[in-house]
Structure 1
Amino acid sequence: MGRQPTMALSRRDVLALGAAATAAALLPGRAFAATPTGVKLHGLSAFGDLKYKPDFTHFGYVNPDAPKGGQMNFAPPNATLNQSFLTFNTLNSLVLKGDSPPRTELCFDSLMTSALDEPDAVYGLLAETVTLSPDRNGFRFNLRPQARFHDGSPLTAADVAFALKLYKEAGHPNLSQPLRFMTDAIAPDPVTLDLTFNGEQSAQNILSVVAMPIVSKAFYTANQFDASTMTPPLSSGPYRLGRVVAGQSVEYDRVADYWGRDLAVNRGLNNFDRIRIDFYLDRQAAFEAFKKGDTHFREEFTSRVWATGYDFPALKDGRVVKREFPGEKTPDMQSVALNQRRPQFRDVRVRLAIANCFDFEWTRRALFFGSYERSQSNFERSDYKAEGLPSPEELALLEPFRAELPPETFGEPVMQPVSDGSGRDRKLLGKASTLLAEAGWKRTGDFVVNEKGERLRVEMLAEDDGIVRLLTKWSENMKAIGIDASIRQVDSTQYEQRQSDFDFDFNLLHWSIGATPTADGLEMLYDSRMAKTPGQRNYPGTESKAIDALIVAAGKAKTRTELVTALRALDRVLRARLDWIPTYYLANHRVAYWDMFGFPEQKPDFGFPVETLWWVDKGKAAKIGKG
């Protein structure tokens, strides 16, 4: 989940049915069908071979000889779990309660870790090897005996088993939901962990589980797990929490004697001695801090600022660099949810009418300075975006649900309307008015009302002045066709709480589900069960047997071709139902940084973690007075 910017809505990244379902899905027990069982493996990949062999020394996208040292004052562009960009009141990021600071994950190790130049590969971190059981529902991990917590105590299989069971019972929903298929976690000895699953899990489910942070059994036996607390939990990763000023700043200090510093998966990473994050409630104040050099790296999400604001002395004299880096080769979702738990939004004609009030062409010109492209899908920038007529393979997944699905599902994928760019396209607004009338909303004076005389109200939720600017024209167009539209700006804490409790009419979300979407990630956004699960991202309240079946089909895919087929079919359904209204996307990262860093020029395709991948170049830093 990414940052919620002024002009590129991005929040809390981060960063996974009936007779027809049985027909659509592969049979259970086929996870990692191409992966041998009974053999110790150094990594796992959902499809195909691993890029890196057992004796690899470092990932190809790092500088293995990157120097250690220095400090990066960092403005995080994304976050995960309960993390907030604007403030924090807890250091516990593992539960739903409270707001924690971004990057607490740097303090924890996991069983395995991702390779950012492969779409679905993980390699051993705490685990030296993993072995699949013959039925592919069991995984035996051999842990590295040298693994240690920061207090010097050993990190053992008992800690891992404890952590996973704890998350399943009481963890943040993003942790607990993937673990619902886990039937047991057993530690026969300090370096052996056995995980078993019930056979209903997706082929990619284990990729979510092995990436979870591992906590200390001793610590959370003595301390309450779900407490909102400023006491840092005992951790084991490359960084530990340093100086903390509640709600204002947090520092992560590199652990010089980190037990895993020489592992192949860590070599060339985690180079800064200290990473500091400052929190600003006001976006302009955050930008001023960057201009002064109090912040060293910033990703710019406000088109107006990117186009006109970078004219300060440090940029003109070369001390600050402004440039773009390629975006990730991962699906991009930037959409609006209309909360169908509220009856006025259950009719797709109402949702379509509201979508017709969004004038992207005007917004692109007037607010985006010509940047951004129109989103048509929740899988933009990927092969999962549906194109043309459904293939025979897609139709095989869709046909069992023809009676449930809109007819448009079976033709060319639904496209969002193109306006005349005037800001008030009469043709589109006329169509919107007709749709409302067809849905039973009649114009009476300034407003449309239903048969009970109730107005059609839409409260648009925002937590940022820039988002208010973005929504203003959309709101005005809704008012023009008789919708009682308003914008409600709230503080960060209230915004998060209302999102978690599904207490809104209209909400924006920017989300990345990874290059190889897992069933767990898809379920968080689209599965029927998640419509009633607080803290999940099924903001529209979608409940659809067809969508649930397609998620299962995606999860059971044993080849990338099967995954692409299932997700293209899912895309057709989402676009026809208009559960989410796609808005826009940006192809590149727009960043500015003080010219004090070294980094590999070739960015990895599936991530951009500058805080762990870059390093301080002492010569550059000294030249600009940052040495």
Structure 2
Amino acid sequence: MSTCQLKRKHHPINVLFLLATLLSLVFGVQAEEKIHKSHAITIHGDPKYPADFTHFDFVNPDAPKGGTLRLASISSSGFDSLNPFIVKGIAASGMTALYNNYFYDTLLYHSEDEPFTMYGLLAEQMEWPENRAWIIFHLRKNIHFHDGPPLTAEDVVFSFNLLQKEGHPIYKTYYANVEQVEALDKWRVKFTFTPGDNRELAMIIGQFAVLPKHYWSQHTFNKTSLTPPIGSGPYTISHVDAGRSITYKRDPNYWGKDLPVNRGKYNFDTIRYDYYRDPTVAIEALKAGEYDFRLENSAKNWATQYQGKLFTRQAMVKKTLPDLSRAGLQGFVYNIRRPIFADSKVRQALSYAYDFEWANKNLFYNSYERTDSFFENSEMASSGLPSPEEVKILEPFKDQLPKALFTQPFELPKTDGSGNNRQQLRQALRLLKEAGYTLKEGKLVNQKTNKPFTFEILLAQPEMERVVLPFQESLKKLGIDMTIRQVDAQQYVKRVQSFNFDMIIGGFGQSQSPGNEQRDFWHSSQADIQGSRNYIGIKNPVVDQLIDKIISASSRETLINYCRALDRVLLWNHYVIPQYHINQHRMVYWNKFGQPKIAPKYSFTLDTWWEDPQKAEKIKSLRKKAN
């Protein structure tokens, strides 16, 4: 009997065990290391457009290039910076800090007709494991910056580290779970994430602007500057008139002009932003032909300003488009770092002094709907009583939540619109008394300190004063003295970023797929970081845990339930007094444009429009006759 035969005879169990172990390891590794490679990545499900798609449905792929698009920006102090990535200064319009834009390109592009799908822009392909613990971006090899040098993985790594170290605090928050970034070679860059479920992170890591290392290594990044920097996007900066205007010129040598994500977009040769201090002046400038297009956010202006011969002769167009994007929430925002607003009963009481129904009737031409969710106009918005799924999520926190959250639908105070809101004010006084306040000689005072209830609302937009004045009058009836402080945009930004305010009118925009940005809005870790968007100063452990659940949601259904649960907790803590919203884009423009047949479902952008030569010539002729 041979030695081999002896071994097989005396150790049959060991051989079988070894074979089973090897098979287990092989199949285990294969399951663990299942790698996805694709031109696109989506939060849930599959991308709409295949790898060989030629253009998005919401563009005209044969749109002509040429012409000028002139736009207006409203700001009492103009702009003082071309660096949108830092806290300091006010960046010029057209320069944006997070998503792809005129001047800078990003690794990925967010499709505007899908809830949340990202397609390759700088990256031609992505690869990631099933658990999304990391992602590798394969860069296109023909990318170059405006001044000629190629864009490589080294620039991606440099940009990410620079933004984390010296950029706006939002970058540290948004990308808090990035553990490592490394250039694998000249054209591949890998991002590794901290352990935990965060499906969105592999997608949003593709949203930051990639900056040129060769430029910023020689320039100071963390200060304002009006010197045009270097980018890689479809436009360059051709002219800057400090604080007054900025002009972009389409780059005919733009490396990405023929990409599927760009085809049919960026059609104007020139895009110019002119700055106006006052909206009324800006409207007159529009009608005088000083610029071409305006999105109107004032119900009064929409109802009264756009009529006459220019519109009857169709020289100018007044038009609405459905807005299917998340409305988020706009409202009176408390700074609960202030002791006066630390008690939720006080915050709830003041909400009874805001008469939306009267304001909608007398100020807004009944054009708005009351906002009653932080995820307004979306399936994420809570309503009625909590569903069984929401109860299951919130039950572990029952002792830390208002009892009414589980037993009553959240409802905002409502009036008959007559202006007689005595019933609501009586309810407000009842809550204020429960919170330790009493009326003395017509003034509301704290029973312990005997200090009167006074606070300031900070405004930067003069037109918002008419929204605030009726609220101020109602508060007077409660014995509360609210002063209105108007400041210029620059001072407003500085005070808000340093949380130096009692109350502001603020907004919290939401995406189609809420995720990591919720940290910046509500998480305790951001409450004391100047420049964060936790304006309110929320430090609530329940909110923190729900944010973590949203970020780690494994399915769309789970995400919806966690968002609704978070919505309820935010609403029942009365952190804001919600105002109003509209589910339409209201636009006014000179009739010189061509437009795609299909509008993007989840956003509005002029990037897909173009100048129609025949229409433009007709408008030019009409303007000459008018002059």
TM over 0.5: yes
The answer to whether the 8 A contact 1:249-1:276 is kept is yes
Structure 2 counterpart of 1:429: 425
Give the alignment partner of residue 97 of structure 1, picking from 66, 88, 95. Answer: 88
The answer to whether 1:73 aligns with 2:89 is no
Give the alignment partner of residue 524 of structure 2, picking from 528, 533, 537. Answer: 528
Deviations 1:219-251 (A, max 9, x none): 111001111111122100001111110110011
Structure 2 counterpart of 1:413: 409
Structure 2 counterpart of 1:192: 188
Question: Which letter maps to 1:90?
Answer: S
Give how far 1:75 is off. 3.2
Give how far 1:515 is off. 0.6
Aligned ranges for residues 8-157 of structure 1 at < 5 Å?
37-75=34-72, 87-104=78-95, 105-133=101-129, 136-157=132-153
Aligned ranges for residues 72-471 of structure 1 at < 5 Å?
72-75=69-72, 87-104=78-95, 105-133=101-129, 136-200=132-196, 202-450=198-446, 451-471=448-468
Give how far 1:315 is off. 2.2
Secondary structure in 2 matching 1:75: strand
Give how far 1:409 is off. 1.6
Distance change >3 Å, CA 86–CA 616, structure 1 → 2: farther
CA distance in 2, matches of 1:256, 1:609: 21
Question: Which letter maps to 2:496?
Answer: Q
Deviations 1:58-93 (A, max 9, x none): 11111111111100012369xxxxxx7851001100
Give how far 1:509 is off. 1.6
Deviations 1:299-337 (A, max 9, x none): 111111111111244223211000101113324211221
Give how far 1:501 is off. 0.8
In structure 1, list runs of 5 or more residues that go unmatched. 1-33, 78-83
CA distance in 2, matches of 1:574, 1:601: 40
The answer to whether 1:490 aligns with 2:487 is yes
Deviations 1:250-288 (A, max 9, x none): 111111110000000100011111111111111111111
Structure 2 counterpart of 1:499: 496
Give how far 1:626 is off. 7.0
Deviations 1:474-502 (A, max 9, x none): 01100110111111111111111111111
Secondary structure in 2 matching 1:322: strand
CA distance in 2, matches of 1:261, 1:36: 36
Secondary structure in 2 matching 1:130: strand
Question: Which letter maps to 2:203?
Answer: L
Deviations 1:346-402 (A, max 9, x none): 111111111111100110011101110011111111011112221222112111111
CA distance in 1, matches of 2:205, 2:278: 36
Give how far 1:147 is off. 0.5
Structure 2 counterpart of 1:28: none
How many residues are aligned here? 586
Distance change >3 Å, CA 424–CA 530, structure 1 → 2: farther
CA distance in 1, matches of 2:423, 2:339: 27
Secondary structure in 2 matching 1:113: strand
Structure 2 counterpart of 1:625: 620
The answer to whether the 8 A contact 1:76-1:298 is kept is no
CA distance in 2, matches of 1:291, 1:214: 39
Give how far 1:623 is off. 1.2
Secondary structure in 2 matching 1:590: strand
Secondary structure in 2 matching 1:341: coil
Give how far 1:51 is off. 0.5
CA distance in 2, matches of 1:207, 1:167: 18
The answer to whether the 8 A contact 2:197-2:553 is kept is no
The answer to whether the 8 A contact 1:37-1:131 is kept is no
CA distance in 1, matches of 2:121, 2:621: 34
| TM-score normalised according to structure 1 size | 0.91
Question: Which letter maps to 2:406?
Answer: F
Give the alignment partner of residue 478 of structure 1, picking from 475, 478, 482. Answer: 475
Q: Percent identity?
A: 38
CA distance in 1, matches of 2:130, 2:419: 61
CA distance in 1, matches of 2:211, 2:579: 39
Secondary structure in 1 matching 2:183: strand
Distance change >3 Å, CA 614–CA 511, structure 1 → 2: farther
Distance change >3 Å, CA 201–CA 277, structure 1 → 2: farther
Secondary structure in 2 matching 1:613: coil
The answer to whether the 8 A contact 2:315-2:590 is kept is yes
CA distance in 2, matches of 1:260, 1:488: 47
Secondary structure in 1 matching 2:165: helix
In structure 2, list runs of 5 or more residues that go unmatched. 1-30, 96-100, 623-627
Using the TM superposition, name which of 236-245 and 457-466 deviates more: 457-466
Give how far 1:135 is off. 5.0
Distance change >3 Å, CA 85–CA 372, structure 1 → 2: farther
The answer to whether the 8 A contact 1:173-1:535 is kept is yes
Structure 2 counterpart of 1:511: 508
Secondary structure in 1 matching 2:567: helix
CA distance in 1, matches of 2:155, 2:391: 46
Question: Which letter maps to 1:484?
Answer: D
The answer to whether the 8 A contact 1:43-1:121 is kept is yes
Higher relative contact order (CA 8 A, sep 6+): 1
The answer to whether the 8 A contact 2:83-2:225 is kept is yes
Question: Which letter maps to 1:494?
Answer: Q
The answer to whether the 8 A contact 2:36-2:130 is kept is no
Give how far 1:601 is off. 3.5
Deviations 1:432-482 (A, max 9, x none): 111111111111113111121111112111112211111000011001101
Secondary structure in 2 matching 1:228: coil
Structure 1 counterpart of 2:588: 592
Question: Which letter maps to 1:464?
Answer: Q
Question: Which letter maps to 1:96?
Answer: V
The answer to whether the 8 A contact 2:327-2:581 is kept is no
Question: Which letter maps to 1:45?
Answer: T
Give the alignment partner of residue 544 of structure 1, picking from 532, 540, 543. Answer: 540
Using the TM superposition, name which of 174-183 and 221-230 deviates more: 174-183
CA distance in 1, matches of 2:148, 2:424: 65
The answer to whether the 8 A contact 1:424-1:477 is kept is no
CA distance in 2, matches of 1:36, 1:286: 58
| TM-score normalised according to structure 2 size | 0.91
Give how far 1:35 is off. 13
Secondary structure in 2 matching 1:553: helix
Distance change >3 Å, CA 604–CA 572, structure 1 → 2: same
CA distance in 2, matches of 1:255, 1:35: 45
Secondary structure in 1 matching 2:248: strand
The answer to whether the 8 A contact 2:77-2:488 is kept is no
Distance change >3 Å, CA 436–CA 260, structure 1 → 2: same
Distance change >3 Å, CA 320–CA 37, structure 1 → 2: farther
Using the TM superposition, name which of 145-154 and 383-392 deviates more: 383-392
Secondary structure in 2 matching 1:398: helix
The answer to whether the 8 A contact 2:458-2:502 is kept is yes
Secondary structure in 1 matching 2:587: strand
